Structure 1
């Protein structure tokens, strides 16, 4: 019985080793054939034929769609480069509007074009989780929209025209900057502060009318916001012109402090002044007299 069992074990061991060697040899053979095949393909110059096959498969969709895609990718590249170059100071809306119009139009063309019943949109979108075309369009557009750049322009027939109030702000801004430049004195800022005060106040007041909030982040395009922030920084930090407004502010604060102390002063005077201090005793005596008079009147009755 034991000998029979040993014979079976030897048989299974030999069968296992044979099967393993066969599978390894097959895997090596397949791998060698795989690489040899590609080696022969490129060494024999057949890579051109292979590229032709790929190109034919690529253009199984309408070639016009790929031409639009190339134009869209170029417009996206131009807008991205323009945005980065005009990051500081922010002139994105002003300098890159033409690139944005081209980018927007090419994307719309890609969405709407249909060639022989095939939509270009169906070719390039929603085929995989990357969705590259849509993702890049949304990310690039997000920069433009976050800067409220569309609010700098009136859009007529998709052609941007700068709004009148934006032009007026630009004029006031340029006048203020020219005043700063013409009156700046490195030794003393009093001249530029006095002579440019009116220009600065006009600019600041007009900027406040462009938005419903004091910051302007809700609707004012970023070019204007950045220009105003830069002007305020120069006025207050570089020229230190805000010191001219300190005297009125001090007077106001002192007046507010005195008015706030009046109730406290009144309370102290009522609590500790002589005649007023004796008032409780007087009231007490008057109550006693009233009690005596009432008792006398009740007896007479």
Structure 2
């Protein structure tokens, strides 16, 4: 016996389609053949599937403003990640992706703020604290950690999202150095070492100053490491910095200081031994002479 609910369900299937879906997956016509008990399959009832989806969509009590803000955060997140991947090698995380991070940072600030929406509406609790995982906060924290570990704050101006003057000056000198490399690398490499020495030295001095002042990000650090590797290993050039001469002299003196100390101690001890042995020999010699005089 079919219940009224089953009869209505069968009638709905008959009106919506001329086929039944059976347990063996074979569709058969409903002509004069006896009816078989239909097996429920989600694809056989698209209306029911849509109703389930709409039910899940309506389940959340997040306002439309917070939904739009979350959607904007997702789009900016994807844009920033798509910028980070090609900027991984060579490293250009700060100079290529600072605009994407600035936009993402502003959107997250709006999400985490107490009142920024219409009528002072806040999405902080509904988007950041509504679930145990705190997924939105976790996603942003991972990207913010990459930004901080890259020291991008030293290369990006705080007043406006743009590269600092020191960073622009370093990139200009780096471009000048690479142009010199490209000009002479096809010929004799000894000419490259001679003609590009001054340009490379200026770049190296600028990097040393930025390193002391802590005004460089990962982009500058990686670019200088690659440049030094090309200079020393690829082109086999040597560079003696004049500022390192006093350091080398002091280091050499400190290295040989223990040797000098032990050598002087050894010579001093030998002199003491000679002074102590000499009187004994002289006394024995005088006593021997006295004995010989008595015998004679």
SS at the partner of 1:69? helix
**Residues matched between the structures, number:** 240
CA contact (8 A) 1:72 1:106 kept: yes
Which of the residues 214, 221, 228 maps onto 1:232? 228
Rounded to whole Å, the distance in 2 between the matches of 1:69 and 1:136 is: 12
The Cα of 1:238 is off from its aligned counterpart by: 0.8
Distance 1:37 1:55, change over 3 A: farther
Deviation per CA, 1:79-115: give whole Å up to 9, x if none.
Answer: 0110011100001111111111111111112223334
Aligned residue for 2:47? 45
Rounded to whole Å, the distance in 2 between the matches of 1:189 and 1:244 is: 18
TM-score by length of 2: 0.68
The Cα of 1:185 is off from its aligned counterpart by: 4.0
Aligned residue for 2:146? 143
CA contact (8 A) 2:155 2:215 kept: no
Which protein has the bigger helix share? Answer: 1
Deviation per CA, 1:115-147: give whole Å up to 9, x if none.
Answer: 456421111112222111010010111111110
Rounded to whole Å, the distance in 2 between the matches of 1:44 and 1:162 is: 54
Rounded to whole Å, the distance in 1 between the matches of 2:111 and 2:186 is: 57
Q: How does 1:213-252 map to 2 (within 5 A)?
A: 220-242=216-238
Distance 1:52 1:117, change over 3 A: farther
Rounded to whole Å, the distance in 1 between the matches of 2:240 and 2:205 is: 18
CA contact (8 A) 2:177 2:196 kept: yes
TM-score by length of 1: 0.67
Structure 2 unpaired stretches of 5+: 1-37, 242-246, 284-296
Aligned residue for 1:279? 275
Structure 1 unpaired stretches of 5+: 1-35, 288-301
Which of the residues 54, 57, 60 maps onto 1:55? 57
CA contact (8 A) 2:65 2:117 kept: no
Deviation per CA, 1:131-171: give whole Å up to 9, x if none.
Answer: 11010010111111110112102221xx2232222122112
Distance 1:284 1:182, change over 3 A: same
CA contact (8 A) 2:76 2:104 kept: yes
